[in-house]
A and B are shown apart, each in its own frame.
Chain A
Amino acid sequence: MEQLIAFAGSNIQMVYILILSVFLGVVVIGGVPSVLHTPLMSGANAIHGVVVVGAIIVVLKTDSTNYAALCLGFLAVVLGTLNVVGGFAVTDRMLEMFRPKKRRAP
C-alpha cells in the first residue's frame, strides 16, 4: 500500500493526466451521431496503436545480446504498427464514403 502511494506520489503528473483524460475521453466523443459510431470505434482503435511507441522503447532498452527478447520486441513492433497503420487506413476508407457527393443528373 505504501509503495502504491509512493508510486502515485512520485508520478503525480501522470496520475493527473490519467484522471483528466478519462473525463476528456467521454466529453470528446459525447454527442457523436450514431452514423459515426463504427468509424469512431475504428479511429479510437488506431489511436491506441500508440502502443507501438512502447514497443520501440522496449527494443531500445533490450540487451543487444538477448536474441529471444529482441525477437519478441520485433514481434511487438510489427503488431503495434499493424494496429496503427491498419487502423488509420481502414478508418480513412470508411470516412471517405461520408464525403458529400455531387448529385448525378437524373
Chain B
Amino acid sequence: MHTDGYVLDLCYLVSSVTFIAGLRMMSSPKTARNGNLIAAAGMLLAVAATLLLSGDHASSEVLKLAIIIAGITLGGVAGWIVARSVKMTAMPQLVSLFNGMGGGCAAIIGLLEFGHKGGDAAARSVVAAGMIIGGVSFAGSVIAFLKLSGAIKRPFRMPGYNIVNGAVLAGVLVAAGLAVVAATSAPAYIALAVAALYGVLFVLPIGGADMPVVISLLNSFTGLAVAFSGLGYNNQAMLTGGVLVGAAGTFLTIIMCKAMNRSLVNVVFGAFGSPVAAAAAGTSIKGSVKDISVSDAAVLLNYASKVIIVPGYGLAVAQAQHAVHELETALAAKGVNVSYAIHPVAGRMPGHMNVLLAEANVDYDKLLDMESANPQFATTDVALVVGANDVVNPAARNTASSPIYGMPILDVESARNIIIVKRSMNTGYAGIENELFYNAKASMLFGDAKQVLAGLIAELKKI
C-alpha cells in the first residue's frame, strides 16, 4: 500500500504532540495524571503504527513479528508488575533502573545498526553516538540503582580518579572513531564495552545524596541516545521524544543543582564531601547541645498553637511518613495548627518528600514550599525537624567558608522552639557540623524517626 508510509508519519506526528502536551500537563498538579496518560496513549499509537505499517509484510516477517510481540509481552508484564509492587520509598532507584533499560535498548540498536549501515561515515557517526551514550546511560543507571538500593554502600574513590576517567572517555571516543572509519562491527563492540566501563566509573564515586542529580543527568543522556537513534532512522517520534527528554532532563538537572547550590561539575567531579573540606569546616562551633525527652517534647507540642514539621532524608530512610502523618492528625485533634515545610531537595529526589507524604495521605494543602514556609516560622511555636540536617543548617547563610554557603535553607531558627529528631550527632551528607543544634532554642530528640514519632503519639494520647 502506497499510503502506509504517510499514515505512519502522521501517527508519529500525533505521538510527538502527545509527548509535548503530556510533559506540559505533567508540570501542573491538577493535570499531571492525565498528561501522563496522554503521553502513554501516544506511545501506544507509535508502537502499534510501527508494528503494523513499517516493514514489508513478506512471509519471513512472521518470525520477526513473533519475536517482537514476545519481547513486548515479556517487557510489558515485567515492567507492570515491578512498577505496581515496588515501595514508594524505592521510587528513585526504580526510575534509574527503567532509565537504564532505555539506555541499554538504544545501545543494542546502535550495535545492530553497525551491521546494517553502509558507506556513509556521517550516518555511522550518528549511530555510534546513540550507541555510546546509550551504553554509558545503561551502565551508569545500573550502578545508580545498586547504590540507591544499598547493594553498593559507599562512594568509591582512588587517587587520580578523574585522570583514569578521562583516559577511559578518550578510549571510548577513539574506539568509536575507529568503528565509524572502519565501518565494521568489531571496533563497535569494543567502543560499547568501554562506554559501559565509563558509565560505571562515572557513577561509582558519586555520593549517595548526589544520586538524584546523577539519575536526572542519566535520564537526559538516554534521551539524547534515543534522539541519535531517531536521527539515524529518520524517525520523528523517536527524535522528538528523545530530544524533549534530553532537554527537559538537562534543565531539571540544573534546577536540582541550583537547589543544592552546587554546580554540575562539582557533583560529577566531586570536591564536595571530601574529608579535608569536612574537617576544615567542622571545628569552629562552641556551646552545648540540649537533650529533650519524648514526654517533654510531647508536652511542648501539645501546648503549641502552631507547629511546622520539617521532614528530611532521615524520615525517608526510616520510612516514617505514615508515622509523621499520624502525629499530625493527633496534634490537629488537639487544635494545633500543623503544616509541613518542604525544602526543594528534601528526600532523595526533588519532590520525593511530597510523593512520600502524599502516599501517607497528608493533605496537599499542608505542604508548604520553602518560599511560603520561611515567613511562617517567625509565628511558629515549635519547628519539628525530622531527619533533616543540611537544609536547616544556618552555616549556609552565616559561614562564607562552608561548602554549603549560599544554599537556600529553611528558616527554622526563627521559630520559638526547635525540636530536632535525629539518630545521632553525625553530620549530614555535606559532612559539616550544624550550629542549629547548639542554638539555645533547640533541643535534640535522639532516636530512629519512626520510633520517636510513635513515642510522641503515645505520649500525646496520655496528655
Contact = CB atoms under 8 A, between A and B. Distances in A.
Interface of A: 3-4, 6-7, 11, 14, 17-18, 21-26, 28-62, 64, 66, 69-70, 72-101, 103, 106
A11 B231 contact: yes
A-B pairs with lowest CB-CB distance, top 10: A25-B247, A81-B75, A77-B71, A86-B79, A7-B122, A89-B83, A37-B350, A85-B79, A97-B358, A21-B243
Interface of B: 15, 19-20, 22-24, 26-29, 32-33, 35-37, 39-40, 43, 46-47, 50-51, 54-55, 60-61, 63-64, 67-68, 70-72, 74-76, 78-80, 82-84, 86, 88, 91-92, 94-95, 97-99, 101-102, 104-106, 108-109, 111-113, 115-116, 120-123, 125-126, 215-216, 219, 222-223, 225-227, 229-231, 233-249, 251-252, 255-256, 259, 332-333, 342, 344, 349-352, 354-355, 358-359, 361, 363-364, 367, 369
Contacts of A90: 83, 86, 91, 94-95, 98
Given A14-B236, A60-B54, A89 B84 contact: yes
Task: Name B's interface SS.
Answer: helix
7 contacts: A28-B24, A29-B252, A45-B219, A55-B109, A56-B68, A59-B68, A66-B115
Contact of B27 (A14, A28, A53): A28
Nearest to B23: A28
A36 B63 contact: no
B50 A56 contact: yes
B27 A26 contact: no
B351 A37 contact: yes
A91 B36 contact: yes
Contacts of B255: 34, 37
A26 B251 contact: yes
A22 B261 CA distance: 25
Given A41-B219, A48-B241, A74-B70, 11 more contacts: A11-B234, A21-B247, A28-B248, A33-B369, A35-B354, A43-B36, A47-B19, A51-B222, A53-B237, A54-B235, A87-B98
A72 B40 CA distance: 25
Contacts of A75: 71, 104, 108
Contacts of A83: 79, 98-99, 101-102, 105
Most buried by B among A31, A73, A77: A77
A86 B349 contact: no
B108 A76 contact: yes
A64 B226 contact: no
Contacts of A41: 95, 215-216, 219, 249, 252, 349
Contacts of A32: 26-28
Contacts of B35: 43
A79 B101 contact: yes
A18 B243 contact: yes
Contact of A58 (B23, B26, B109, B249): B109
Contacts of B244: 21, 24-25, 28, 44, 47
A36 to B, nearest CB: 6
Contact of B32 (A22, A81, A95): A95
B26 A39 contact: yes
